[in-house]
Chains A and B, each alone.
Chain A
Amino acid sequence: MERVYSQSGDRIESRLPVIVHRYGPFTRANHWLTAACLILLLISGLGFFHPWLYFLTDLFGGGQTARVVHPWIGVVLFVSFLGLFFRMVRLNLPRREDAVWIENVREVVAGKEEDLPELGKYNAGQKFVFWAMTVLIIVLIVTGFMMWQRYFDGLVTIQVRRIATMVHAIAAVLIILTWILHVYAAIWTRGTLRAMTRGTVTGGWAWRHHRKWLRELARLDRKGPAE
């Protein structure tokens, strides 16, 4: 049977109680590497962003070191994010039910998901985070290279570099906002974090938030070879 709403590797791990496997060890490691890079970039970048936050560069051993490591961490993040991107892009493509979800986002925030359409592995909010991160990371890496004085000082004219610097700053603010949204949603929706730590979620969580995904996995569980 073809998978429509799930990723290869997603499966019902146990049936009593229902435990569902959501992310394998490789995806989780990939996610946490990206997260670590993002946080380091955020700290060093904020240090350059505003004089009030310059003290943050001390965490890296001073402004010079923060300036040296920031772009390299950015390169690592970019490569790491590529891994997540290619793994997750298929299930993050928009679908018709996303529009309904967005229209009823108030209900979601109020915790009343019951009347909304059943969803696959990701809801529209998660897809938004995915695509926002994708676009912003591309913008940040491209403008980042234009600003990378040490190795790319002649890459663009000074006027282009000014624009790149401003775009980089704006994109950085937007990615921080997206990041807060991402972290907050993962905490607010109880039972989500363990998908990225232990790799599994409870059946109740899957039924509540990603029913189509659960349905498909249950069906696969029946068709597939017994363990």
Chain B
Amino acid sequence: MTTAPEPLTAASNPPVEPLESNLLPSDVIRRSATTDLPEPTRQLTKVAKLIDVSRCIGCKACQSACIEWNDTHPAIEENVGSYTNPHDLTPEMFTLMRFTEWENPETNNLEWLIRKDGCMHCEDPGCLKACPAPGAIVQYSNGIVDFIHENCIGCGYCISGCPFDIPRISKVTNVAYKCTLCVDRVAVGQGPACAKACPTECITFGPKEEMQAFAEERIAELKTRGFENAGLYDPQGVGGTHVMYVLQHADKPEIYADLPADPRISPVVEAWKGVTKTVGLAAIGVMAVGAALHGFFGRPNEVTGRDREEAQRLVDEERP
């Protein structure tokens, strides 16, 4: 069997003959709770999904494609006052169109902002940093961050680690779920299901550099149409992301359903996973070794014959 090519686009039809995965175990460059990961032997092309918010028509084809490909079964819910449905990301819904009605104070126009929420596939993933279970979260050298469910213990630390509030833990299977960037499609040369399904080319997929170049074209065009603050959302606080947005108002990402302006791994998480662990273990070690040494070499505090006599005298005196 030949190895599948690295996918360059989601638009073309995939090859139909059976292909070997192009993602090898040795392509893992980060593995949660693992310190001795072998150096990868090769560097895959960094991929990215580009979501041009200005082109989204809110049809939710991507959501449907995601449900279909990942074979999830989101519950039928109540209307929460907007087209956003389900009300939030869930263990069964890895991507969600978030609808915001925003009144532009400069033009007095009502703008309908539709952002496809989901895992950003951070270059420096907070979920992976926080995870205590070895191998439950991995990152491949193409940038994809994936949850390996058989290693997941369902503790929820990834939720604390993520700056974007993405992972969701199932109450049924007790493991964490999120967008996989269709790693199982990418591995055999296909683009993500959502990108494939998108009818407006709002979602495109390919090498990250190409996606950045393509984004520049889109931004230039948006600027000619009067969106002078149009820009690319590829936040550097997390080392850049492998899911990027073209935003009409890149100066105010928060208006897109609270997209963080400057996301980074919380310093609290960094301190917890960094200094607390090292200092904590060291303190416990020093204390245990110190106690053992004092126990072996120090003199124990023993009751003496005099103590015994005095005790006897005291008791006898008090009760003649």
Residues of A at the B interface (CB closer than 8 Å) are 12, 15-18, 47-52, 54, 57, 62-64, 66-67, 111, 113, 147, 149-150, 153, 158-159, 161-163, 165-166, 169-170, 172-173, 176-177, 180-181, 183-184, 187-191, 202-208, 211, 214-215, 218-219, 221-222
CB-CB under 8 A for A188 and B301, given A180-B291, A203-B308: yes
Q: Is B316 in contact with A149, judged by CB distance below 8 angstroms?
A: no
Q: Is B314 in contact with A208, judged by CB distance below 8 angstroms?
A: no
> What are 24 A-B pairs with beta-carbon distances under 8 A?
A15-B316, A17-B312, A18-B311, A18-B312, A50-B277, A149-B156, A149-B159, A153-B159, A158-B160, A165-B268, A166-B268, A169-B272, A172-B280, A173-B283, A176-B284, A177-B284, A180-B284, A184-B291, A190-B301, A202-B311, A206-B311, A208-B303, A218-B318, A221-B315
Q: Is B272 in contact with A204, judged by CB distance below 8 angstroms?
A: no
Instruction: Kindly list chain B residues whose C-beta atoms are within 8 Å of the C-beta of A187.
Output: 295
Q: What is the size, in residues, of chain B's interface with A at 8 Å between Cβ atoms? A: 54
Q: Is B315 in contact with A49, judged by CB distance below 8 angstroms?
A: no
Give chain B nearest CB distance to A1 CB in angstroms: 12
Instruction: Kindly list chain A residues whose C-beta atoms are within 8 Å of the C-beta of B279.
Output: 173
Does B77 sit within 8 A of A, measured CB to CB? no
Q: Indicate which residue in A51, A162, A207, A208 contacts B272 across the interface (CB closer than 8 Å).
A: A162
Give chain A nearest CB distance to B285 CB in angstroms: 10
Instruction: Kindly list chain A residues whose C-beta atoms are within 8 Å of the C-beta of B300.
Output: 111, 188-190
- Alpha-carbon separation in the docked complex, A211 to B307 (Å): 10
Give chain B nearest CB distance to A156 CB in angstroms: 11
Instruction: Kindly list chain A residues whose C-beta atoms are within 8 Å of the C-beta of B294.
Output: 184, 188
Q: Is B155 in contact with A188, judged by CB distance below 8 angstroms?
A: no
Q: Indicate which residue in B266, B304, B307 contacts A159 across the interface (CB closer than 8 Å).
A: B266
Instruction: Kindly list chain B residues whose C-beta atoms are within 8 Å of the C-beta of A66.
Output: 153
Instruction: Kindly list chain B residues whose C-beta atoms are within 8 Å of the C-beta of A158.
Output: 159-160, 165
CB-CB under 8 A for A49 and B280, given A54-B33, A166-B268: yes
Q: Which residue from chain B places its CB closest to the CB of A42 in the assembled complex?
A: B284
Q: Indicate which residue in A63, A111, A207, A218 contacts B319 across the interface (CB closer than 8 Å).
A: A218
Does B76 sit within 8 A of A, measured CB to CB? no
Q: Is A165 in contact with B160, judged by CB distance below 8 angstroms?
A: yes
Q: Is B314 in contact with A63, judged by CB distance below 8 angstroms?
A: no
Does B197 sit within 8 A of A, measured CB to CB? no
Q: Is A63 in contact with B133, judged by CB distance below 8 angstroms?
A: yes
Fill in one digit per residue for B154-174: 1 if any A CB lies within 8 Å of its CB, else 0: 111101100001000101001
Q: Is A67 in contact with B153, judged by CB distance below 8 angstroms?
A: yes
- Alpha-carbon separation in the docked complex, A88 to B281 (Å): 31
Q: Is B277 in contact with A49, judged by CB distance below 8 angstroms?
A: yes
Instruction: Kindly list chain A residues whose C-beta atoms are within 8 Å of the C-beta of B165.
Output: 158
Does B35 sit within 8 A of A, measured CB to CB? yes
Q: Is B307 in contact with A205, judged by CB distance below 8 angstroms?
A: yes
Instruction: Kindly list chain A residues whose C-beta atoms are within 8 Å of the C-beta of B271.
Output: 166
Give chain A nearest CB distance to B294 CB in angstroms: 7
- Alpha-carbon separation in the docked complex, A146 to B33 (Å): 23
Give chain A nearest CB distance to B116 CB in angstroms: 21
Give chain A nearest CB distance to B302 CB in angstroms: 5
